[in-house]
Amino acid sequence: MIAELCAAKLLAPFYGNSIYVWAAALSVTLGGLALGYFIGSTLSQKEITKNIRHLNYSLIIGGVWMILMVPISAKIMPLLLNLSLGLGASLSLIIYLMPALVCFGTCSPLFINILNQAYKQEAGTTAGKVYAFSTIGGIVFTMLTGFYFIPSLGLKITLLMSGFAMGISSLILLGFKTKIPGIASSILLVLCVVFSSFVKPEYRDDIKVLAESDGILGNIKVVDLLAEGFSETPTPGRALVVNNSIQTFLKTEGPEFSHWYWAYLIPSIAGVKPSGSDALLVGLGGGITYRQFESIGLNTDVVELDARIKDYAIKYFDVPQDAPIFIDDGRHFIKKSKKKYDIIYFDTFFSESQPEHLLTKEGIQDAISILKKDGFMIINFYGFTDGEEGYAARSIMKTILHLNLKLHVIPTPGEQSKRNLFFVVSPGELPNYFETRYQEPGMHVFDQWSHIVTDERDYDITDGEILTDMKPNLSLLFRKAALQWRKGYNEYSIEQLYQ
């Protein structure tokens, strides 16, 4: 379970967190274990010492492979990026994950055979006990890995620690008949740990990595770089990068200024509320929106799932140390909130992933329930509205209207594949933000409302579906668009970041 969870997170910087990635991870896991079970049944012998030797080698090789998963994945995934998302993710997992799972799958038949011979038990009794204890162990270590190891230690240390512990415990508990294999195995484990510890991504020479870690949301780093594509000339800036997707990009000479013109839409919408109004921001990123809300006098609470985002926003993006940032799941925070807000802003997607439980009928109702009178919410989503790629957005529109809520759709400039959509939702009259004139220091006044604000009448949503908690399939609906987003992110980010 440790190997599977870490393997899926290792995929995220290159292939994202979409349903394709998790389907690939689960399929390869089951395939590896099935192959291991078959090999283990073939290796099982009547002679107990041979079974113990086979078991020992399986555990040691599996432990060594866990240690090497990080450097192997770092080398193999960039080579497979040109393949389709599903194929590239599956092949990557087969190479860097499946060998460890085959080894661990081999152990179960061997354990059962050893115990049958040692204690003269019925095969069914032994098999039941082995799978019961292995399942309990899986539950315990899945919880520890998901809630503690990965968030606190990161992927590399989790895999190093687990693989080393697996190999050493096998040597201690099972031993070898001769000293040479035991000594050689110990040396191999140590060398693999040392080798894996020093393997690092090869960034471009002009990239300065200020911080990097692995955790709940995957790989997160803060980099200073000279980025292309934001203006006519290469732009020096600081980026918050989540799974190789640039989530925040700010000018190096003024970290409070964003390079993304569309980022000024949000404070322009929120600016209809008077100073002193209460806002809830779900998703922090580099803290651009938090500082913008503060600049127009809003009292802003923030909910962020990953504590590392908070730490990096404070340390590298000038978010105040005392900012009211709560580490929690957005919907969980909303459901337990006793406070009412004038504005709620969902800014929760990263790369091609969107927390779909926030955008079901029930999730939207939960958010509406903590709005003050005349309050409204804003939802940041992907830019596709037409064809199969736009089916997810049309379904969100249909879900919102099914709740008898008012809706404005605000697309940012540009092609659908490169833009964002903002849904402004209200149980009452929509705010009149057409007269707001938000301006960042040194930037143009934002005043293009007449060109971009639309409502549901501008979209054919008859084919959309109503999203519910009992059918949380937003990732499935967005699958085709997600492939385009991830491909675009990889092409841009890998070119900008890596050699």
Q: Which of 163-172, 271-280, 336-345 has the lowest mean pLDDT?
A: 163-172
CA distance 81 to 78: 5
Closest to 355 in 3D by CA, of 409, 282, 302: 282
pLDDT band for 319, please (50, 70, 90 cuts): very high
> What pTM was estimated for this model as a whole?
0.78
Query: Cα 479 vs. chain centroid, distance in angstroms?
Result: 16
CA distance 377 to 300: 14
Overall average pLDDT of the 107-113 stretch = 88
Within this chain, do residues 186 and 48 fall inside the same structural domain, yes or no? yes
pLDDT score for 175:
60
Q: Which helix H or strand E contains 110, and what residues bound it?
A: helix 98-119
Q: Which one has a higher pLDDT value, 46 or 141? A: 141
Checking if the pLDDT of 379 tops 90, the result is yes
Residue at 215 is within a domain: no
Checking if the pLDDT of 490 tops 70, the result is no
**Number of domains comprising the chain:** 2
Residue at 229 is within a domain: no
Checking if the pLDDT of 343 tops 70, the result is yes
Checking if the pLDDT of 143 tops 80, the result is yes
pLDDT score for 230:
59
pLDDT score for 135:
87
Please report where in the chains the tokens 């870490």 appear, as a residue.
6
Closest to 401 in 3D by CA, of 369, 380, 425: 425
Q: Which one has a higher pLDDT value, 433 or 184? A: 433
Checking if the pLDDT of 271 tops 70, the result is yes
Please say which residue of 130, 163, 198 terminates a domain: 198
Q: Which one has a higher pLDDT value, 23 or 439? A: 23
Please say which residue of 141, 165, 198 terminates a domain: 198
Please say which residue of 139, 174, 198 terminates a domain: 198
pLDDT tens string 44-102: 877 888 888 888 888 888 988 888 888 888 888 878 867 777 788 899 999 999 999 99
pLDDT band for 171, please (50, 70, 90 cuts): confident
pLDDT score for 242:
84
State whether residue 114 is helix, strand or coil. Answer: helix
Q: Which of 98-107, 191-200, 378-387 has the lowest mean pLDDT?
A: 191-200
pLDDT score for 77:
82
Per the DSSP assignment, residues forming a β-bridge with 394 are none
Q: Which helix H or strand E contains 362, and what residues bound it?
A: helix 361-369
DSSP letter assigned to residue 444:
P
Handedness of CA 392, 84, 411, 259 (dihedral sign): positive
Closest to 208 in 3D by CA, of 170, 236, 186: 236
Overall average pLDDT of the 275-287 stretch = 94
pLDDT score for 450:
57
Q: Which one has a higher pLDDT value, 134 or 189? A: 134
Within this chain, do residues 151 and 270 fall inside the same structural domain, yes or no? no
Overall average pLDDT of the 470-492 stretch = 73
Overall average pLDDT of the 205-233 stretch = 79
Checking if the pLDDT of 254 tops 60, the result is no
Closest to 373 in 3D by CA, of 417, 343, 406: 343
Within this chain, do residues 312 and 186 fall inside the same structural domain, yes or no? no
pLDDT score for 217:
75
Residue at 449 is within a domain: yes
Within this chain, do residues 194 and 261 fall inside the same structural domain, yes or no? no
pLDDT score for 350:
64
Within this chain, do residues 474 and 365 fall inside the same structural domain, yes or no? yes
pLDDT band for 300, please (50, 70, 90 cuts): very high
Letter for the amino acid at 49?
A: T
Q: Which one has a higher pLDDT value, 252 or 426? A: 426
Please report where in the chains the tokens 């919408």 appear, as a residue.
269
pLDDT, averaged across the chain: 83
Residue at 204 is within a domain: no
Please report where in the chains the tokens 């590239």 appear, as a residue.
88
Within this chain, do residues 46 and 193 fall inside the same structural domain, yes or no? yes
Residue at 212 is within a domain: no
Q: Which one has a higher pLDDT value, 235 or 402? A: 402
pLDDT score for 456:
67
pLDDT score for 431:
84
Residue at 230 is within a domain: no
Q: Which one has a higher pLDDT value, 89 or 397? A: 397
State whether residue 187 is helix, strand or coil. Answer: helix
Task: Give the C-alpha distances (Å, rounded to integers) separating 329 from 91, 133, 279, 357, 367.
Answer: 32, 32, 17, 10, 13
What residues make up the domain containing 456? 241-497
CATH number at residue 312: 3.40.50.150
pLDDT band for 312, please (50, 70, 90 cuts): very high
Overall average pLDDT of the 247-270 stretch = 73
Overall average pLDDT of the 277-304 stretch = 93
Q: Which of 220-229, 244-253, 486-495 has the lowest mean pLDDT?
A: 486-495
Over 131-162, what HEC string results? Answer: HHHHHHHHHHHHHHHHHHHHHHHHHHHHHHHH
Within this chain, do residues 363 and 463 fall inside the same structural domain, yes or no? yes
CA distance 339 to 360: 22
Within this chain, do residues 163 and 267 fall inside the same structural domain, yes or no? no
User: Of the ranges 16-25, 109-118, 226-235, 450-459, which is most confident?
Assistant: 109-118
